Structure 1
Amino acid sequence: MDALVEAALRKWPNVPHCHGWLALDARGNWYMRDERTQHAGPFPQSKGSRIEHEKLRQFIERNYAADEAGAWYFQNGPQRVYVDLEAAPWVWRVGDEAGWPVTSHTGLATEVLSAWLDESGRLFLHTPLGLGLVHTQDMEFAARAVEAGAWVPQPLPFAQMAAHFGHVLQPQP
């Protein structure tokens, strides 16, 4: 967490949390969801505005964490902005180098503990950071890891993943 954010938390410890205004899609893109977007429907049916500003994305990613209930948030100074998740808290990029290195959408390297397939054929990887979905552009490399026996996917319905791995897709106040 940024030192500036930690200082703001000490200075203003009781700022109300924010829900519904930030979302993460299945490709690792962040979305701002204003009131009009929120009234148009839940994420991802109503996405909002994709955050393109590189420094803002980096700030969000450096201050991205989960609370004790498994709800993911971005600590924006003294305010906790909860994140609606389309698929999982992480989106994994898989490299084509030896060992198929895995990196999160926030740039964190990790290792694969287990692999899971949902009913749609989407590949999820459980790591020490938590559960994440393999980015669609990296499925060729992930398939090579599976074919080589490095990852052995187990079936698990998508509706059961959040409870099984302890994360919340749509945090509520």
Structure 2
Amino acid sequence: MDDIVKQALAKWPNVPSCTGWLMLDRRGNWRMRDEAAQAGGTPGTPIRHEALLGFINRNYDADERGQWYFQNGPQRVYVELGYTPWVVRLSANADAGGTLALQDQAGGAFEPAAVFVDEEGGILLTDGSAPPRVAVLHDHDLEVFSDHATLAEDSMSGEFRWNNQVVLPLQAIRRSDVARRFGFVPSPAAAGA
């Protein structure tokens, strides 16, 4: 968390939180949701300002109930999640013999410990932290993923080869079970943050 945010929290500790105004979409884009977007149930307008994106990413965290938020100075802005709290991009570095790398929407490295596939073909990965972070793979990277995976005929099992060192079995998961299983709240507004 930024020092300026910590100072604002100390100076104004009782600023009410807000919900519904910020979304992390399925592709890792931060979106501002004005009243019209909230009323219409649309994702809102993508945030493109690099400094603001950096500020959001540095001050993004979860509370004890599994609700993700952006600490905007003294105000906690709860985040609507398009799927999971993290979205990762997968790349293969051609200069390094095809070495794979995963990076989350905040720019941090993500080391996979387990891989899941949902009934819609979405790929989810968890890391080795405690509790584990769960991230959905950006859909533009499914081809890179498939280059390093073997799928069974049911498309819900198989294995993923991570940098030719680790073979991770693909585990089936229902999309409707993801939030409960990994302990996060996809819509703090609906949960009454």
Within-5 A mapping of 1:139-158: 139-147=142-150, 149=161, 150-158=167-175
Q: TM-score scaled to structure 1, two decimals?
A: 0.92
Match of 1:67 in 2: 63
Match of 1:18 in 2: 18
Does residue 105 in structure 1 map to residue 105 in structure 2?
yes
Q: TM-score scaled to structure 2, two decimals?
A: 0.83
| Offset of residue 151 of structure 1 | 2.9
Which amino acid is the alignment partner of residue 134 of structure 2? L
Match of 2:133 in 1: 130
| Offset of residue 67 of structure 1 | 0.7
Supply the distance in 1 between the matched residues of 2:175 and 2:36 (Cα, whole angstroms). Answer: 29
Match of 2:153 in 1: none
Larger gyration radius, structure 1 or structure 2 = 2
| Root-mean-square deviation over aligned CA pairs | 1.4
Alignment size in residue pairs: 169
| Offset of residue 99 of structure 1 | 4.6
| Offset of residue 52 of structure 1 | 1.1
Does residue 93 in structure 1 map to residue 89 in structure 2?
yes
Supply the distance in 2 between the matched residues of 1:74 and 1:83 (Cα, whole angstroms). Answer: 7
Match of 2:164 in 1: none
Supply the distance in 2 between the matched residues of 1:130 and 1:143 (Cα, whole angstroms). Answer: 22
Q: Secondary structure at the match of 2:125?
A: strand
Supply the distance in 2 between the matched residues of 1:95 and 1:40 (Cα, whole angstroms). Answer: 35
Which amino acid is the alignment partner of residue 55 of structure 1? A
| Offset of residue 94 of structure 1 | 1.1
Segments of structure 2 that go 5 or more residues without pairing to the other structure are 151-159, 162-166
Give the % identical residues: 44
Supply the distance in 2 between the matched residues of 1:53 and 1:15 (Cα, whole angstroms). Answer: 25
| Offset of residue 146 of structure 1 | 2.2
Is 1:145–1:151's contact at 8 Å kept on the other side of the alignment? no
Of Structure 1 and Structure 2, which has the larger fraction of its residues in strand?
2
Segments of structure 1 that go 5 or more residues without pairing to the other structure are none
Supply the distance in 1 between the matched residues of 2:170 and 2:83 (Cα, whole angstroms). Answer: 17
Q: Secondary structure at the match of 1:15?
A: coil
| Offset of residue 7 of structure 1 | 0.7
1:147-169 deviation line (CA, Å, top 9, x unaligned): 36433210100000000011110
Does residue 6 in structure 1 map to residue 2 in structure 2?
no
